[in-house]
Amino acid sequence: MAPGDSSLDTASALRPVPAVTVASPAHARNPGMPLLLDWVRDVRVNRSAVERRAATIGPRRGVKKQWQAAWLLRAIRLMDLTTLQGDDTPGRVQRLCAKARRPLEQHLVDALGVGSLELRTAAVCVYHEMVPVAVEALAGSGIPVAAVSAGFPAGLSPLRERIREIEASVAAGAQEIDIVITRAHLFTGNWQAMYDEVKAFREACGDAHLKAILATGDLRVLRNVARASLVCMMAGADFIKTSTGKESTNATLPVSLVMVRMIREFLERTGVQIGFKPAGGIGQAKQALVYLAMMKDELGRPWLEPELFRFGASSLLTDIERQLEHHVTGRYSAGYRHPLA
């Protein structure tokens, strides 16, 4: 991601890698595998080393000018534009879907010369109740609807009810399901129960992709994060996700680094690519750039595509728009000038 890298101009940064495009059969679903308890129990995490590494990512990978604009445009393509509020209404979801279809104001698209790239977000994420509204609003766009499910955000409703909720979301048109694990299984060391639960969720999803939310702010230590990541991947999760956005601490770089390295270890041992989704607390464009740098450093170029990396975001798009407007005009606009994000 060096500023002198001519491959990172505004237009080329948005073109997908041929081997991992949206329609590519090369990126297979996670078939899951048996639970290997020895592997789970052997996991170790050096917290101080993780924190030192996380602290170096941003300073070592700064980008400016047109290269920064290019990476911010890519961040838009990797965004699950999200609304998970108690006051959500059909109108709010419809506005969000319109924003997902056209995430930038037309004058910015024209000034950046990216009109031909048909920029859009990766998905729209809503509660189950709003899935039909989002599906209708996104019809013909190719943008999938992601539904938070399985007793989100606590994950403590009866298992049969959580499974039925997943099935209902899929039947309503959701193509991605974000579930939350039962943290009690981790604290009691009942890895088999966690594995069985996530595997049941994976089966209930059918053709829909499964994102397993670890709620890392509740897991207390990084070793727990690593172990839970591994169990969810073994059970068939297509993505592992940091947070619900409702915990007191959501996505952080040290937690994300641990999860990404478990994805790398899983890939090395099984050959299966697992996606990663940091969510909650990522509201600034400069944070998105650091996460992109981490993914490129730790997992490589394929993890800069929506099939393998997502931001769970609501306010991030507004700040990215402000940064792009500054790139074009030299001035920052007020956040309220931009449509709902």
Angle value at C-alpha 201, between 198 and 203, nearest 5 degrees = 115
pLDDT at 182: 96
Lowest mean pLDDT among 78-87, 139-148, 237-246, 330-339: 330-339
Mean of per-residue pLDDT scores for the chain: 90
pLDDT at 337: 73
Cα Rg, the chain, nearest whole Å: 19
pLDDT at 247: 87
Q: Would you give the end-to-end CA distance of the chain in angstroms? A: 27
199, pLDDT greater than 90: yes
Q: For residue 103, what are its two tokens? A: 């995430």
Cα distances from 208 to residues 121, 150, 167, 214, 339, in angstroms, run 18, 14, 10, 19, 30
264, pLDDT greater than 50: yes
6, pLDDT greater than 80: no
12, pLDDT greater than 80: no
pLDDT at 64: 83
pLDDT at 28: 83
pLDDT at 267: 97
pLDDT at 340: 66
- Select the more confidently predicted residue: 104 or 28: 104
Residues 6+ apart with CB under 8 A from 288: 71, 72, 75, 282, 311, 316, 320
Active site residue 277: yes
Give the mean model confidence (pLDDT) for residues 265-286: 96
Give dist(CA 243, CA 321) in Å, integer.
24
Give dist(CA 3, CA 124) in Å, integer.
32
Cα distances from 260 to residues 56, 160, 304, in angstroms, run 16, 31, 13
pLDDT at 2: 39
Condensed to tens digits (0 to 9), the pLDDT of residues 104-155 reads 999 999 999 999 989 999 999 999 999 999 999 999 999 999 999 999 999 8
- Would you kindly state where each structural domain of the chain is located, as residue ranges? 29-337
Give the mean model confidence (pLDDT) for residues 220-226: 96
C-beta of residue 256 within 8 angstroms of C-beta of residue 46: no
Which one is catalytic: 80, 178, 218, 238? 178
Give dist(CA 150, CA 67) in Å, integer.
40
Which one is catalytic: 199, 238, 277, 319? 277
C-beta of residue 214 within 8 angstroms of C-beta of residue 250: no
C-beta of residue 232 within 8 angstroms of C-beta of residue 214: yes
Give dist(CA 4, CA 50) in Å, integer.
29
pLDDT at 232: 98
Residues 6+ apart with CB under 8 A from 89: none
Residues across the chain: 341
From the list 212, 216, 304, the residue with the least C-alpha distance to 252 is 216
Lowest mean pLDDT among 38-47, 61-70, 144-153: 61-70
238, pLDDT greater than 50: yes
CATH class of 29-337: alpha beta
Give dist(CA 87, CA 64) in Å, integer.
38
Burial (0-12, 13-18, 19+ Cβ within 10 Å), 42:
exposed
C-beta of residue 10 within 8 angstroms of C-beta of residue 114: yes
Q: Where are the alpha helices (DSSP H) in the chain?
A: 37-41, 47-60, 65-77, 90-101, 106-112, 131-137, 159-171, 183-187, 191-205, 222-234, 253-270, 285-298, 316-329
Active site residue 65: no
DSSP label of 315: S
Condensed to tens digits (0 to 9), the pLDDT of residues 162-183 reads 999 999 999 999 999 999 999 9
Q: Tell me which residue has tokens 């989002």.
A: 134
The SS3 of residue 80 is strand
pLDDT at 166: 97
